[in-house]
Every structure is written in C-alpha cells, then in structure tokens.
Amino acid sequence: MTAYLMNRNSGSRLGTRRAAPPALVLVGHGSRDPRALSTVRTLMERIRELRPGLPVHLGHIELNEPLLPDTLAALGTGDAVLVPLLLSRGHHVKRDIPEAAAASSAHVRIAGPLGPHPLLVETLYERLVEAGWRAPDAVERRTSAVVLAAAGSRDPDAAVDTRRTAGLLAHRLGVPVVPAYASAATPTVTDAVRALAARGRPRIAVASYFTAPGRFATECTTAAPGLASAPLGAHPAMAHLALHRYDEAMAPTLAATA
C-alpha cells in the first residue's frame, strides 16, 4: 500500500522514496454515550496495528469531537479515504459525508458503508455466542429466531441493506432473522419479538446491529425478551472490514498506476 505513488515533492534525487498512503479517516456517527467514543478509538488502534504506517484519523458526523469537517481541515490538501462506520446506505452516507468532503481542501475518496458484508455476519454471530447463543437442535430450530436490531432510516436503500444482512445471518444461524429498528422504520424490536412469538417462535435472541454502544443499542437490548448480544464494537473483524473498504476505494488508483 505504501509503494503505489511517488512522493510529489521528492524530485529525481529521491526517486526511490514513496509517499505515505492516503489517510484512512473513520467517520463515526457520534454519540452522547462515552462508551461509543472509547470503542471507536480502540478500533482505530486495531487498524493501526494491522497496517503500520497507514495514517488513521477519526471524524464524527455529530455529537463528538473531532467533527468530520475539522478532521478534514487538519489534513489540508492531503489525500484521504473516508470510511463510514455505518452499516447501510442512508442520509449520512449519501448526503452528509459527501457534503463534508466537497467542502474540504483535501483530496478525498469516500468508501462504501461497512455493510452488508460477510465479516459483519461473522461478528454478529460471535457476539451472539458471547451472549450465550448456542446452535439449536432440530426441535429448538422450529421455535427459535433472531431479531436483528438496527438503527433505522427513512432511506429505502438502508432497509434493503439491513434485510440482506439479516438474510446472511439467517443462513449462518439456521433460523429466521427478522430486521427491526430503533427509529425511523418499522417494525420495532418489541413488535418483531411479538410477531415471532405469535408465529410459534418464542426462543428469540436480539442481535445488536450497531457499531458501538449508545442510546439506540441500549433501548433495543432492553426490549429483548432474553438473550441480547453486545454491539459489533472493536471486534477484530471490524478492523479488517474497515481496511477492506479503504482498499476498495483505493483500487481504481492502484489499477491506474500499475
């Protein structure tokens, strides 16, 4: 990754020197819950450990500092790839982040949101296991289900992405997985739990489809009838996924300079 581009200021005397790669800027939503900021900072450190030499920064859409415009301003006219710590398409991905990028002086590429992706499904599975989920036997499978609790959005593409993750998780678990939302979309977790129980599936777990702890994640956990997993958090797979999205955004440049 560090060898793809010659230093713009190197000149012929330093022809073998390579520029630092474009910075990876994690774009968090922001939360009043202090655990959210701590989680994102831990994720940043894991990314740095996986790829030493890659500059990694953080910018928030709201509620926490540094805000994304301030992070981009600090980069000046440097190169950066914005990696949203968001799990689906929606207003933040389509509007807020591009607008912040367009207003900055930095040379910016924007990666896709983290989801849907198989690495998220594996993280969801492991968080459920940590919370006490065990694979149901043949009898239990007929009465088991999972509610995938997500933030919610009015953008229909967000629901499409969440449903796709639910389908992948259902395949992984071998039981139905129903998306539910904390806001802006239906059903709620409570409604999804009630509907599943009415269909003869009382053994219900709630999978927390949030990148970090916060109000929505807490509300969804509280609505769980029993087992509820922790948010995705700083799971190692999340660091690998953030780097994967960075590499995807960089792929056209690498191909052009190959």
Where b means 16+ CB within 10 Å and e means fewer, 76-104 reads eebbbbbbbbbbbbbebbeebbeebbeeb
* Catalytic hit among 29, 92, 117, 235: 29
202 contacts 143 by C-beta, under 8 angstroms: yes
Q: Is 57 a catalytic residue?
A: no
Rounded CA separation 49/241 (Å): 14
Contacts of 223 (CB under 8 A, 6+ apart): 149, 188, 189, 190, 193, 206
Q: Considering only the C-alpha atoms of the chain, give the largest distance between any 2 of them, rounded to a whole number of Å.
A: 74
Tokens linked to 123: 């993280």
Query: What residue type is 3 in one-letter code?
Result: A
The DSSP secondary structure of 9-62, one letter per residue, reads: T-TGGGTT-BPPPPEEEEEE---SSHHHHHHHHHHHHHHHHHSTT--EEEEESS
Looking up tokens 């296991």 gives 129
Active-site residue set: 29
